[in-house]
Amino acid sequence: INIEISQLEYAATHTFLENLSDLSTSIILEITEREYVAKKTVITDFILYAKSQGYRVVLDDINVHSHLDAAEADELGIIGVKISYEAMKQLPMPSFQRRLTRFDAKMAAINVDVIMEGVSEEAQVVRLFDLGIKHQQGYYFSNQETTP
């Protein structure tokens, strides 16, 4: 279930999740927003609440050099972080590779999956796999226009 940061403080969001709590171990919550730093307390409180209800949490649109460190991810008990390939490809390729490799190693050490989203061609799949990124998402795997 994808939840925007603006929805984290709604009573209706909490009621919705409480009504689904019997299924929580089968549901992953994806918190989507690029400005984690501005709402850090709200996000932290919500993640701890969701985990107390039995949900697993993935953070979306993480930037591999500023928003989240391994200690914080470990403390929160999130299971994955999603990184946008589009945002990262604005960096020179050697810099992108170094940052991604370091970030992936830190997350792997605490059993947090790194998921690269926005993968649209085979060359990206191969390059990312060579860098150790096994979890990938994007049009390369399922293009909306060709999916019935």
> Mapping DSSP to helix (H, G, I), strand (E, B) and coil, where does residue 5 land?
helix
pLDDT in tens, 41-58: 888 899 999 999 999 999
Q: Is the pTM of this model over 0.75?
A: yes
Smallest Cα–Cα separation from 83: which of 116, 58, 108, 51?
Answer: 116
pLDDT tier at 34 (50, 70, 90 boundaries)?
Answer: low
Whether 65 contacts 99, CB under 8 Å: yes
CB contact at 8 A, 82 and 137: yes
Query: Please, what sign has the CA dihedral across residues 88, 89, 90, 95?
Result: positive
Give the three-class secondary structure for 118.
Answer: coil
Residue 26: count of CB within 10 angstroms of its CB: 10
- Domains, the chain, in order of start with CATH, read 2-137 (3.20.20.450)
Task: Count how many residues are written for the chain.
Answer: 148
Residue 53 contacts residue 21 (beta carbons within 8 Å): yes
Residue range 115-142, pLDDT digits in tens: 998 899 999 899 889 888 899 998 888 8
- The reported pLDDT for the residue numbered 145 is 61
Answer yes or no: are the C-beta atoms of 53 and 24 closer than 8 Å: yes
129 DSSP 8-state letter:
H
Residues 6+ apart with CB under 8 A from 73: 59, 81, 107, 110, 112
DSSP 3-state assignment of 59?
Answer: strand
